[in-house]
Structure 1
């Protein structure tokens, strides 16, 4: 009897355990299903081969080939400024005059002394020929004449310094002084710039140096003239590389016949460095930038743990090359034809399920309008 009772209790316990395990498995499966993440909606684009010409991009500044701040070489009161602000002047044109009334009076006196010294020298020469005076007296008269002439020349030079002339042809800026103002020696009067040609000053990495030589044309872009491209020619490359940045200074010459561009303008420079090459290009928005390495997410068919196929993403680390508009070149990590995610890459993880939705396609072009800056 006891044996039958024990068998009954054991059988009942076994049934309870089996039912409990089965129920627990069902609950666990249901919970897993209820917490399964739905596929993430993404936009995509195929990596494609594009023909790109290697270029170097840089930022730079326009500077004058000839440009100075005109200043006076003497002290004085400004009595004339015959040129208008912004006027074009020729070399030698008068820009400003300082008061010379005192110097002119001193010059008149010096000229009178010179004339008297000339008469005395002539008289001494005549008397010396008649042996009436000594050679020493004649030499003294000659020396006094030379001294008087030097005094006249010094005053004439001093007066000339108070007439400020254009050292070269160019365009004046806005003057810094007013009539009647006392001007100190070296004080700035007005800017004078030669604008028909300008320098484009910029720097490029040292790796570019072997493919950039004087005579090569570069494209110059100026924010003030959107949509326009100016052409300059490389005319000089510095002989040393900056030991801090490892960049080298380059100077190009830009024709500016209409005086449209001005010194000091910020510009962007693009220099073509060789023949066109085929490169794998992807939209720049598809790159996940990180300190440990840049990567993209490639869309492909995958299988889950149960062997079921689904559409997922594979994270692939990439090496980036040059950029063109909205595209960036890839030298490794992506092959032409592979489909990459172009939006929301920061929220994806490797092997995550995705759903492609290109109904609203992000615009991307190697030559966007307006250009990227």
Structure 2
């Protein structure tokens, strides 16, 4: 009997000891730590609607220098890549025969004029018939035409720059026999660049002359070239369903060359709108939600309508107002109805990102 009592006492003590070890665990389970989240306030910031495209550079003016006649090259007055002005002599073809013909025609004109002056007084006194005077006048007109023809043939053998620009590579040498169609070199006016790019037809109603464009070239990754739309093609390509848009870009330092590939941004519209970091958006099927923190630090869920998206930020069309605190980090730790501790996001988290995108 005594042993039974001792055993019961021992069991009772063991039970109470076990319960005492469970009590702290249960109390710990009841206490839930308040999570920390990072919030950003909805802000009204400037953004722009833009269309990205790929374009190709073309010279503002561009020609291939070729001769008009078949003749031998007498002299070449340029080097590869020279900058020339309008009217500069580039190539002189052999022209001795044409020079002689011009001189002969000039002599004929002078002689006929002298003869006409000599008989005018005789015609007045009726010593010589007026028919002779008319014959001389016709002869003078004919020799003058021959003189103009000889001068034109002489000019055809001097090849001048039709406009200012940069020459390409020299394709002929002194002594070469050239003929119409023979490429001597190229001439490009690159003080301005024509940038042609395709825009999908769904944007046609938003295209207007004077719209701003910004372009980047692989050769100059840190530089932005700015220009404006000067013309829009009158037809849509039936294969690509796009229209060709042309912009003019200033190229005073001749950095851009014809044929370069350019990444283009066509600025359709500049405006101000509500912006949020993209990390704040919770997509659920076809809808979008955000978590906001009310005045009592309680999480609430709100459905929002989105506009344009860009790298790191998104436009809020409906569902939020300015300065509402929205959770942008820590979304996985909370649910609607939870109490949270908030920490303000750094100013550059999305405000400066949006500004950088607008400047890029």
Q: In the alignment, what sits opposite 2:20?
A: none
Deviation at 1:239, TM superposition (A): 3.0
CA shift for structure 1 position 324: 4.5
Contact 2:54 2:262 in 1 (8 A): yes
Structure 1 residue 167: deviation in Å? 1.3
Within the candidate set 136, 148, 155, 2:150 is matched to 155
1:243–1:321 distance in 2 versus 1, CA, 3 Å: farther
Q: CA deviation at 1:258?
A: 0.6
Distance 1:186 1:150, change over 3 A: same
Determine the C-alpha separation between the residues in 2 that align with 1:86 and 1:165. 16
- Cα contact 2:199–2:244 (8 A) shared by 1: yes
Distance 1:255 1:269 in 2: 15
Aligned-partner Cα distance in 1 for 2:138–2:56 = 58
Instruction: Output the TM-score relative to the length of structure 2.
Output: 0.63
Say whether 1:254 aligns with 2:249: yes
Q: Work out the CA distance in 1 between the residues paired with 2:315 and 2:172.
A: 55
Residue deviations 1:112-149 (CA, integer Å, cap 9, x gap): 22232223222332321222222112211121122112
**Matched positions, count:** 268
Q: Residue 207 of structure 1: which of 194, 202, 207 is its match? A: 202
Q: Which runs of 5+ in 1 are unaligned?
A: 1-48, 283-293, 296-319, 341-365, 368-373
What's the C-alpha RMSD, in Å, of the aligned pairs? 3.9
List gaps (5 residues or longer) in structure 2: 1-41, 280-284, 287-305, 318-326, 332-352, 355-360
Whichever structure has more strand as a proportion of its residues is 2
Normalising by structure 1, we get a TM-score of 0.61
- Once the two structures are TM-superposed, the CA of residue 249 in structure 1 deviates from its matched residue by 1.4
Aligned counterparts of 2:203 and 2:74: Cα–Cα separation in 1: 55
Q: 1:197 aligns with which of 192, 202, 214?
A: 192
SS of residue paired to 1:228:
strand
- Within 2, Cα distance between the matches of 1:241 and 1:61? 18
What secondary structure, in the 3-state scheme, does the structure 2 residue paired with 1:272 have? Answer: strand
Q: Are the equivalent residues in 2 in contact too, given 1:280–1:330 (CA < 8 A)?
A: no
Alpha carbons 2:277, 2:328 under 8 Å: kept: no
